[in-house]
Amino acid sequence: AQSVTQLGSHVSVSEGALVLLRCNYSSSVPPYLFWYVQYPNQGLQLLLKYTSAATLVKGINGFEAEFKKSETSFHLPKPSAHMSDAAEYFCAVSEETSYDKVIFGPGTSLSVIP
Amino acid sequence: EADIYQTPRYLVIGTGKKITLECSQTMGHDKMYWYQQDPGMELHLIHYSYGVNSTEKGDLSSESTVSRIRTEHFPLTLESARPSHTSQYLCASRSLNGGPGGNEQFFGPGTRLTVL
């Protein structure tokens, strides 16, 4: 069965500092992996996705993520946080064999301190 | 740019009222979903549909019902609203086509429901 864990329900960083949002997944078959961002009072917006092509995936807003099969991870680092990055971030997984079902992680709330 | 709409954006209503949350998408997607999300919490799938006349219950039990009479429209109905239904409801759609470009979900802006 698929599952997603996100270490740290709240992350707080200073503006300009490195941000690392963590995501680990479990899947018995090759997965599709996603990061979504949710700003206050809005729906989710796709940040980036991994679909078995390149393991380093670039997304919007300067984010990129690296798929590491050996670690079953899909962490989301960003070298320099901006105030506009403050939001809720969700990692999600779906399986190639049943990609119609997407499992979301519990989310990580990112705060950026000026 | 995703074209998926939800109305109303905010709704405050009394206990016992019947409500329908609207969701429409103009992308021609076959699959549509309803998620329930409490503030700062994860998303829980409550309903989904593979296409017209197809509806399935999700992982989280819900007293709501859905219908799919047209591809673009996937309304959610609560026959008798209760305070425990207070939450945010997110609608999403997805292409049926597989492959790298066809697996992401597009989300609407959500409906924040408060039942007094």
- In the predicted model, is pLDDT for residue A1 greater than 70? no
Strands B111-115 and B10-13: parallel
Contact A36, A46 (CB under 8 A): yes
**Band of pLDDT at residue A59, cut at 50, 70 and 90:** confident
Please list, residue by residue across B11-39, b when 16 or more beta carbons sit within 10 angstroms of its beta carbon and e when fewer do. bebeeeeebebebbbeeebbbbbbbbbee
Q: How confident is the model at residue A100 (pLDDT cuts 50, 70, 90)?
A: low
* Chain B contact set for A50 (CB, 8 A): none
Q: How many residues does chain B have?
A: 116
Partner-chain contact B108 A43, CB within 8 Å:
yes
In chain B, count H helices and then E strands.
0, 11
Q: What is the pLDDT of residue B85?
A: 94
* pLDDT value at residue B1: 55
B41:A107 CB<8 A: yes
Reported as a single tens digit per residue, the pLDDT across B16-64 is: 999 999 999 998 898 999 999 987 788 899 999 989 999 999 888 788 9
pLDDT band for position B88 (50/70/90)?
very high
Q: Work out the minimum CA distance from B40 to partner chain A, whole angstroms.
A: 8
The pLDDT, as a whole number, for residue B96 is: 66
The tokens describing A33, both together, are: 């992996």
Search chain A and give the residue with CA nearest B88: A41
Interface of B with A (CB under 8 A): 4, 6, 31, 40-43, 45, 48, 50, 90, 92, 94, 98-100, 103-110, 112
Which candidate from B43, B48, B104 shows the least CB-CB separation from A34? B104
C-alpha to C-alpha distance for A12 and A88, rounded to whole angstroms: 12
